[in-house]
Amino acid sequence: MKRNSVLVSALLLAGVPALFAENITDATAADTVFLTEVVVSATKTEVNRGEIPLTISIVNRETLDASTETGVLSVLSEQVPGLFVTERSVTGYGINAGSAGTVTIHGVGDGNKVLMLFDGQPMWAGLFGHSIADVYVTSDAERVEVIRGPGSLLYGSNAMGGVINVITRKATVDGIHGRGRLMYGSYDTWKAAANAGYKKDKFNAYVSLNHDQTDGERDNSAFYINNGYLKLGYEISDNWNVSGSAIVADFKVNNPGTTTLPMFENWAKALRSTFSVAVNNKYEKMSGSIQAFYNDGRHQINDGHTTPTSIPAEQTSFFKLSDFNRGIALYESFRLIDGNLFTVGVDAKQWGGRAWNEVDGKETDVWFEDKKVNEFAGYAVVQQTLFDKLTVHAGIRLENNEGYGNEWVPQGGIAYQLNPQTTFKASASKGFRSPNIQDMFNPMAWGGGGNPNLRPEEMNNFDISYLQSLLNHKLQFELTAFYVKGKNMIVGPESYGGLNSNSGEFTNKGIDFAVSYQVLPTLKVAGNYSFLKSDIKLPAAPKHKAFVSVNWAIDKFTLSPSFQYVNDLYLATYDGYDVPAEAIIPEGYENYALLNCKVSYKATEWMNLFINGDNLTNTSYQMYSGYPLPGIVVLGGVDIRF
């Protein structure tokens, strides 16, 4: 506490010069008008945000750069209304027991119902069906597009509650350019990142490297990750180009256990890799792509012990798994008449893996033996603008899964542009999630549950939106109301040895609101609020969530305070098998408010110095039952561009 108090004092004092600086410069340019921002995730081709009936949020490069967060999801949890991400430590989400990184949109997401994409290609673990939150890092992203509602029409399974599409960076300026960042702070936390781009003639290349490590705020909660990203591109002609990318992440996370049941030597190591290649075409009246992707993972897990004295001198027993997720997608969009966009596509995916115990280097019990699932789909989407004001959007997808058969996915909506500053939207869409390997084949030794006859989970979503730009585009806001009805939710067995079943239902409804105001050329205020009401208890989905940030550039200083409020966040009971009664944490609801602040100083044209403080009021709170989050966390660092 004494060390943190000194760091907080330094943070606050560092902001004093900014408050009294006299010279105001145009350090912050006005944002692009949000109604004409170009998005690709909703149609797979470039269209204006105001013409898409779906509710879409965009987090741009400037916002990602301004954050000291390594993970994309931490930024989205603040910037996107209706979206929430659980955290468990000063840095790192983790995998297996004690992990966080659950993403929900409008209360839907637990169990991988929000699809993570890199350049439109799915990235999640093929065996247990969950996303890998630590792999999605800010330095790889040019921008992030979030569909706040079903995206299954274009992307199929797991896009039930929404889609997060990370549009990766590439070199766009001739020559070599790059950036390096180094941070250090509380709990012996280090963050280092470096990236560089190169472009000459028709060739471009971009590479990014990241390293994070921390001792953690609790005993046995250390974490590290090494992440590398490479993207290459070549323009074959004015109409054709080819690109390829690779991502490799190596990390280890320790699980300290809950406060009532501490764990020792409970850790997981993972090596994740993703490779993709795309051949793209773009003509005046048509554009499209053929894309192939492959991602896999190798995990090694030590279940650990509940007492430190029982730790052996050398651990020789582990749970291991290998999984994969691969596929190919082909689509083409046509603009054959004025105001029309017609897209057709097909895709094929295969995912699965195997899991086993290993003792003294030899396999013993095999939990999943080379399980895999095949899915094939075709879809068509048409969009027509009438009278330069009304855009009508409709589409249909047919998904075939070798396990449950066919699933139809319809979607429709309208967008009406009353004037260049005002747009109204309405949409109706269906989303679904196919049962994963664990849902269908979970072995009896884990308490039963595996049921190969499961149907996909599904939901219907209805929303209306009002988007407005005022004061010569200095003030912009969006208001959305939504209604969600889900059925066929996969629930676990009522008793040991039973089977999973499609018996869960839910109804969610609420509103989202987002606003930004460029008060002065050097002063911007932005915020968002979301309200969620559900007829069931939803983890990782607060009833109220609000976020407000200020960015004030004065001379060479930039002061960026922010405030986040979360109310009625449900914390589920931890009641796993073989847990002592005294270690069970009762269910409850969490309320908290966090004050954060970043102060940066432009030392030269190519170097910034900064200090960032989170939870400056030292609030006690948690997002995951039994895992209290840290109090005051301060990181300082340097940012260099060339």
* pLDDT of amino acid 584: 76
| 344 touches 46 (CB < 8 A) | no
pLDDT surpasses 70 at 157: yes
Phi, psi for 464 (deg, rounded to 5): -130, 145
Mean pLDDT of 307-315: 64
- Can you tell me whether residue 323 is helix, strand or coil? strand
Q: How far apart are the C-alpha atoms of 128 and 95, rounded to whole Å?
A: 11
Mean pLDDT of 145-150: 96
Lowest mean pLDDT among 138-142, 168-172, 490-494: 490-494
C-alpha atoms less than 13 angstroms from C-alpha of 513 in its C-beta half-sphere: 11
Which residue, 292, 268, 289, 270, is CA-closest to 280? Answer: 289
Confidence of residue 43 (pLDDT cuts 50, 70, 90): confident
Query: What dihedral do alpha carbons 250, 251, 252, 257 form, nearest 10°?
Result: -140
569 Cβ contact partners less than 8 Å away, ≥ 6 residues apart: 540, 541, 542, 543, 589, 590, 591, 623
* pLDDT of amino acid 309: 64
* pLDDT of amino acid 310: 56
pLDDT tens for 196-240 read: 999 999 999 999 999 999 999 999 999 999 999 999 999 999 999
pLDDT tens for 618-634 read: 999 999 889 999 999 99
* pLDDT of amino acid 220: 92
| 165 touches 143 (CB < 8 A) | no
Residue 39's beta-bridge partner residues? 47
Phi and psi based region of residue 135 (left: phi greater than 0; alpha: psi -120 to 50; beta: remaining): alpha
Q: How far apart are the C-alpha atoms of 333 and 345, rounded to whole Å?
A: 9
Report the b/e string of 451-488 with b at 16+ CB within 10 A: beebbbbbbebbbbbebbbeeebbebbbbbbbebebeb
Which residue, 562, 631, 522, 599, is CA-closest to 18? Answer: 599
* pLDDT of amino acid 33: 58
Global pTM reads 0.92
- Can you tell me whether residue 446 is helix, strand or coil? helix
Residue 366's beta-bridge partner residues? 356
Residue 152: which H helix or E strand, with range?
A: helix 152-155
Mean pLDDT of 441-465: 87
Q: pLDDT averaged over the chain?
A: 89
Give the dihedral sign, CA 393/396/399/404: positive
Q: How far apart are the C-alpha atoms of 12 and 612, rounded to whole Å?
A: 10
pLDDT tens for 260-295 read: 889 888 999 999 999 999 999 999 999 999 999 999
Which residue, 326, 36, 191, 251, is CA-closest to 612? Answer: 191
| 149 touches 162 (CB < 8 A) | yes
pLDDT tens for 569-611 read: 999 776 555 667 777 777 889 999 999 999 999 999 999 999 9
Residue 79 token pair: 């910037």
Q: How far apart are the C-alpha atoms of 347 and 379, rounded to whole Å?
A: 9
Which residue, 103, 165, 65, is CA-closest to 540? Answer: 103
Residue 241 token pair: 């180009």
pLDDT tens for 333-380 read: 999 899 999 999 999 999 999 999 998 888 888 888 888 999 999 999
Residue found under tokens 């004015």? 238
Confidence of residue 332 (pLDDT cuts 50, 70, 90): very high
pLDDT surpasses 50 at 415: yes
Q: How far apart are the C-alpha atoms of 419 and 168, rounded to whole Å?
A: 33
